[in-house]
Amino acid sequence: MCVRYRPSDYRGLINEYLEIAGRVGEKHANASHHIVQTTTQSPYSPIFLLLSFSGVLGLWVVAYFDGMTDRMETILRTLRMPDGRHLRSTYTGIRLVDWQLTLLSSFYEVLSNNLTYGPRLLFFDLNFVVACTNLWVLMESRRREVARAWYLRWPVWAIILWNANGAAIVQPIFFWLAHTTYQANHPYNSEMPLNDAIALFAVTLPIMAAPLLLFTPAWLGLTTWQHHGYIALFQASPLLVTAAFIALSIVLKPATTTTTTTSTTSKGSSSKKWIFASLLSAGTIAAAVHLFTIFTTLRSADPDASAARLFIPDLVRAGIRGFATVTLPAAHEYEALIENLHLFSQFDWWVVAASCVSLSHLLLKEGDGPYRDLTVTPTTRTQWKELAYLVVGSLVFGPGAAGTFALAVREIRL
């Protein structure tokens, strides 16, 4: 016992340690895997699917019974609005694309021209809420881990679909798809390359300004033909913004790579500042639009701009009495079309608002991955408070602004 140890006595000690550590790590990994497989499934998947189903009912099923689909078919067949105005039908020279743009232009133009007041206010607010979600999905698509899934890496296809078919239907499906994709328990890298973060900030203003393409022609007194051209440009704006984002990111990549000589932590901090600035800018714009909408409804004596008129669906006024539509004189067809489309946008607004609150609450939950329930434990008291703040914030500042500010808080946590 008194003999001193020699170096040869320690031979194999490191290998023995590694072997023991490997067995312990494997044991913990198996236990963690067992816990993940046996814990309660996240409640967000059925919520998103339920919201999408509600969107189908509120948008297209109701549209069938209130006569909206019949009126839209008549417009496309005659290329005339019910009030006699001609409908533009040529945009690109490609028949299928022009037909789709004609349909969308007739829809968007009715809700954005100066012939409506209350419906235009709600549609104005709705489009800025959707603009916020466009920024969200573009931002999350730039996370390093998202590169594994192309349909999340390039979300422009989803943005085009929910602009063309109703955000209340497509958005919850996209959120559900992203949520289920990242529900698997694997390490997640939430970092964003610095060049992508700077490019995101650069395109934030174009993303948030895109809805102005719908309403500026009416404010400037342009013709219906010109108005429809701006609407077609709005439909193409997701592609244009994505192309600008990619081009700017490519241009900035060599500069950010060669000039950045600091540590990885500093790089992440620099990216975080640009992301935070983007979210803060977008949230401020969306909040200003929603507050403008609310104050207009409170100050206006016109019943067409009341809060009930804007946000509470009126099935009877839209033409649904039981399950039969009422045939109206030709002079009242345009007013009936306005009511149909306004009811469409009301259901759209409510489902999109619920989707925004659900997604924002999901991303705020403690963890390190996008679009997934990061904790399988029951919701804590703090998370319930955050959910209450999101609901109240959505009522005051709008769901787009409340969700965007929540994602700014989440960015600090990551």
* Residue 290: its H or E element: helix 264-299
Strands 324-325 and 320-321: antiparallel
Asked whether residue 368 carries a pLDDT value surpassing 50, the answer given is no
Q: What is the C-alpha separation between 363 and 183, in angstroms, rounded? A: 13
Asked whether residue 63 carries a pLDDT value surpassing 70, the answer given is yes
Output the six-digit token pair for 171: 């958005």
Asked whether residue 10 carries a pLDDT value surpassing 50, the answer given is yes
Whether residue 98 contacts residue 90, with contact meaning beta carbons closer than 8 Å, is answered with yes
- Confidence band, pLDDT 50/70/90 cuts, at residue 330: low
Residue 16 buriedness (CB in 10 A; 0-12 / 13-18 / 19+): exposed
Whether residue 36 contacts residue 374, with contact meaning beta carbons closer than 8 Å, is answered with no
Identify residue 274 by its one-letter amino acid code.
W
Output the six-digit token pair for 399: 């769901």
| Range among 21-30, 129-138, 177-186 with highest mean pLDDT value | 129-138
Whether residue 352 contacts residue 365, with contact meaning beta carbons closer than 8 Å, is answered with no
Q: Taking residues 137-155, what's their average pLDDT?
A: 80
pLDDT number for residue 317: 78
pLDDT number for residue 253: 82
Q: What is the C-alpha separation between 414 and 400, in angstroms, rounded? A: 21
Phi-psi region of 166 (alpha: psi -120 to 50; beta: other; left: phi over 0): left
DSSP string, 93-121: S-HHHHHHHHHHHHHHHHHHSTT-SHHHH
Q: What is the C-alpha separation between 98 and 293, in angstroms, rounded? A: 33
* Pick from 255-259, 287-291, 339-343, 401-405: least confident: 255-259
**146 CB-side CA count, 13 A:** 24
Which among 212, 277, 209, 206 has a CA at the least distance from the CA of 248?
206
Output the six-digit token pair for 140: 């999350």
Q: Give 247-254's long-range contacts (Cβ < 8 A, gap of 24+).
A: 248/198, 248/199, 248/202, 248/203, 249/193, 249/195, 249/196, 249/199, 250/195, 252/194, 252/195, 252/198, 252/199, 253/193, 253/195
pLDDT number for residue 269: 67
**pLDDT tens for each residue of 194-252:** 988 999 999 999 999 999 999 999 999 999 999 999 999 999 999 999 999 999 999 98
Whether residue 185 contacts residue 32, with contact meaning beta carbons closer than 8 Å, is answered with yes
Whether residue 198 contacts residue 256, with contact meaning beta carbons closer than 8 Å, is answered with yes
Output the six-digit token pair for 244: 């600008």
Asked whether residue 324 carries a pLDDT value surpassing 70, the answer given is no
